[in-house]
């Protein structure tokens, strides 16, 4: 019995921490059969938040939590979220926002045990408009019901499942790190004697900005072109291999300027464009009420933007003196992050997998893969074969890509060019197991690489936001550790990957070994690099059976998706 009450208390705290943003009313109630009804007053939480005092009402639960959990809860209760009511309104009235609130409403119900959707949305908007700002306690006070009922059974099930998934994820990450470490031990390369690819190359660079207009799709595409500049001591070799960079959702072309400049210093020409339907500017207009939410057609328009860009650059290569003869259209690579990762995967040959989407999104019951909220928007597209592949692109890097449902195994296995996938172990928006590690096993080309960065998040690869593109306020906890090591990893790995697989320079292949990743790895954000992981081996690790090693084998059957 003692174990039960301890488990009950800890589970309540865990559920509370997970779902706090929607809780409201004078009392929070939940029913746990067969032991009956339990409740906690909002006054008790407010006293705890402001004074750190635990009254009699709260002591029943507080006694079953650790000091660390209580400290985390108080920090959360005290935190003020600087979000405007306009932003809250626009997000919660968007298709994705409504789906999120609807799911929270299944757990956090009104006094009559109805879905708390409307109450939660209204409380969020009103609390954000209050002079005290949006805090958890203020949100509780604004909930239009005397009591909010926590669907404890469902919440406990979600917490348990999430706990199991996190444990499995940690086991997969630990196994891959162990395999990379074992492989690195066999290396005889002394990287301290080789050029440091993290440092800039020998070429200075210049940036040119163009505004391209695709009138057929009513798309205005701002593009920054970075070009190497040779001199008498370091002459540039024309034409330059061309790299295209595609940004993520609500971002812009400044997000990967650091990577573009680094590649240009090594002799690559780099084109960084903005996708007008899903960039920071579009989201600013949307949150200001001047534009609608991103359209599902963005899944089609983004790769078409890249195709149009390449077509225009081929035209400008013949007509614009500043570009004439400088771009090598036989050597084109592409790099994308998040939604941009999806974009470059489609350009490489993966097609939208409507059968997979219908299976995963009708309905979308996953609480554990937030990227499905975006991926499942594609189900609104007309189901047909969209021509998104571009044969001019010969190698791609996909950083934190979203792909598990919109592309799936059937489509990703169609990619026949070299691919590097980059994953962050603490990415909650494109979870690494679902969106990068398992998809890595689906790639069939032998020139494939998986870069796994421990403690990295979905934002670790993105440059510090500017006032112009800081659209969504991201709490520091979601950004993770100082991302500077991640920038250095991507700088080095992109040069090594593209020199090896796009330009066929074998002297760079040694940098694509696990030992090099180990050499440049830093403690706060440990880097591991692998070239091999089969579906069967992944399935074994996921199911708790540790294979002897990560080496190619013929899987006996297709593993059950996690």
550 found inside a domain: no
Please classify residue 355 by burial: count the beta carbons closer than 10 Å to its beta carbon, then call 0-12 exposed, 13-18 middle and 19+ buried: exposed
155 found inside a domain: no
Q: Are 406 and 375 in contact (CB under 8 A)?
A: yes
pTM of the complete model: 0.83
- Residues 312 and 413 reside in one and the same domain: yes
φ and ψ at residue 90, rounded to 5 degrees: -65, -40
- Residues 142 and 239 reside in one and the same domain: no
- Residues 376 and 460 reside in one and the same domain: yes
- Residues 315 and 377 reside in one and the same domain: yes
548 found inside a domain: no
Sheet arrangement for strand 27-32: 36-41, 27-32, 147-150, 108-109
- Residues 407 and 274 reside in one and the same domain: yes
**What's the CA gap between 357 and 343, in Å, rounded?**
17
547 found inside a domain: no
**Can you give the pLDDT at residue 146?**
81
Sequence-distant (6+) residues with CB within 8 A of 63 are: 9
Whether cis (ω within 30° of 0) applies to the bond prior to 341 is: no
**Can you give the pLDDT at residue 94?**
77
**Can you give the pLDDT at residue 471?**
58
**Can you give the pLDDT at residue 269?**
98
**What's the CA gap between 256 and 252, in Å, rounded?**
8
- Residues 197 and 313 reside in one and the same domain: yes
DSSP structure string for 176-193: HHHHHHHHHTT----GGG
**Can you give the pLDDT at residue 12?**
36
**What's the CA gap between 217 and 235, in Å, rounded?**
40
**Tens place of pLDDT for every residue, the chain, 562 residues?**
333 333 333 333 333 333 333 344 688 887 666 666 778 888 888 899 889 999 988 888 888 888 888 888 888 888 888 777 877 887 788 777 888 888 888 888 888 888 888 888 988 888 888 888 888 888 888 888 888 887 777 777 777 777 888 899 999 999 999 999 999 998 999 999 999 999 999 999 999 999 999 999 999 999 999 999 977 677 778 999 999 999 998 889 999 999 999 999 999 999 999 999 887 777 776 666 667 777 999 999 999 999 999 999 999 999 999 999 999 999 999 999 999 999 999 999 999 999 999 999 987 666 678 899 899 999 999 999 999 999 999 999 999 999 999 999 999 999 999 999 999 999 999 999 999 999 999 999 999 999 999 999 999 999 987 655 565 666 666 788 999 999 999 999 999 999 999 999 999 999 999 999 999 999 999 999 999 999 999 999 998 887 765 443 333 333 333 3
Total domains in the chain come to 2
**Can you give the pLDDT at residue 82?**
77
**Can you give the pLDDT at residue 562?**
38
- Residues 7 and 121 reside in one and the same domain: yes
- Residues 179 and 93 reside in one and the same domain: no
- Residues 19 and 135 reside in one and the same domain: yes
**Can you give the pLDDT at residue 549?**
57
157 found inside a domain: no
């Amino acid at each position: 019995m003692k174990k039960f009450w301890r488990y009950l208390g800890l589970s309540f705290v865990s559920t509370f921490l997970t779902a706090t943003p929607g809780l409201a009313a004078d009392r929070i109630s939940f029913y746990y059969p067969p032991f009956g009804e339990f409740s906690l007053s909002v006054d008790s939480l407010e006293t705890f938040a402001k004074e750190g005092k635990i009254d009699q009402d709260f002591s029943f639960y507080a006694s079953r939590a650790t000091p660390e959990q209580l400290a985390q809860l108080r920090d959360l209760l005290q935190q003020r979220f600087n979000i405007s009511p306009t932003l809250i309104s626009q997000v919660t009235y968007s298709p994705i926002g409504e789906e999120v609130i609807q799911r929270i409403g299944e757990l956090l119900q009104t006094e009559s045990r109805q879905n708390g959707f409307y109450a939660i949305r209204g409380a969020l908007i009103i609390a954000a408009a209050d002079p005290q700002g949006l805090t958890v306690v203020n949100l509780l006070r604004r909930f239009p019901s005397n009591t909010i009922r926590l669907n404890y059974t469902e919440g406990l099930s979600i917490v348990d499942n999430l706990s199991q998934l996190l444990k499995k994820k940690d086991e997969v990450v630990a196994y891959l790190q162990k395999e990379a470490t074992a492989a690195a031990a066999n290396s005889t390369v002394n990287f301290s004697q080789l050029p440091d690819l993290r440092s800039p190359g020998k070429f200075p660079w210049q940036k040119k900005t163009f505004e391209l207009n695709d009138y057929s799709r009513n798309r205005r595409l701002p593009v920054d072109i970075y070009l190497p500049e040779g001199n008498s001591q370091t002459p540039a070799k024309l034409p330059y291999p061309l790299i295209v960079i595609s940004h993520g959702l609500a971002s812009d072309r400044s997000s990967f300027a650091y990577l573009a400049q680094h590649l240009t210093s090594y002799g690559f020409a780099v084109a960084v464009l903005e996708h007008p339907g899903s960039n920071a500017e579009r989201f600013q207009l949307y949150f200001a009420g001047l534009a609608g939410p991103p359209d599902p057609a963005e899944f089609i328009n983004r790769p078409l933007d890249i195709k149009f860009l390449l077509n225009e650059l081929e035209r400008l290569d013949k007509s614009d003196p500043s570009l004439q003869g400088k771009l090598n259209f036989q050597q084109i690579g592409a790099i994308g992050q998040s939604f941009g990762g999806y974009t470059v995967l489609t350009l490489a040959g993966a097609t939208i997998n409507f059968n997979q989407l219908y299976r995963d999104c009708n309905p979308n019951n996953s609480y554990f893969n937030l990227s499905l909220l975006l991926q499942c928007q594609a189900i609104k597209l007309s189901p047909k074969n969209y021509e998104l592949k571009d044969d001019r692109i010969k190698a791609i890097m996909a950083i934190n890509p979203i792909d598990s449902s919109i592309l799936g195994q059937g489509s990703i296995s169609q990619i026949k060019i070299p691919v590097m996938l980059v994953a962050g172990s603490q990415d909650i928006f494109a979870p690494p197991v679902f969106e990068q590690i398992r998809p890595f096993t689906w790639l069939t080309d032998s020139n494939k690489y998986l870069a796994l960065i421990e403690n990295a998040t979905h934002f670790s690869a993105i440059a510090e936001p500017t006032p112009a593109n800081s659209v969504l306020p991201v709490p520091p906890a979601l950004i993770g550790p100082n991302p500077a090591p991640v920038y250095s990893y991507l700088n080095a790995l992109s040069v090594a990957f593209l020199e090896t697989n796009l330009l066929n320079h074998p002297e760079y292949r040694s940098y694509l070994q696990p030992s090099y990743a180990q050499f440049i790895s830093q403690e706060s954000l440990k880097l591991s690099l692998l070239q091999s992981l089969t579906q069967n081996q992944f399935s074994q690790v996921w199911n708790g059976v540790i294979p002897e090693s990560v080496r190619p084998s013929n899987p006996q059957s297709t593993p059950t998706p996690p």
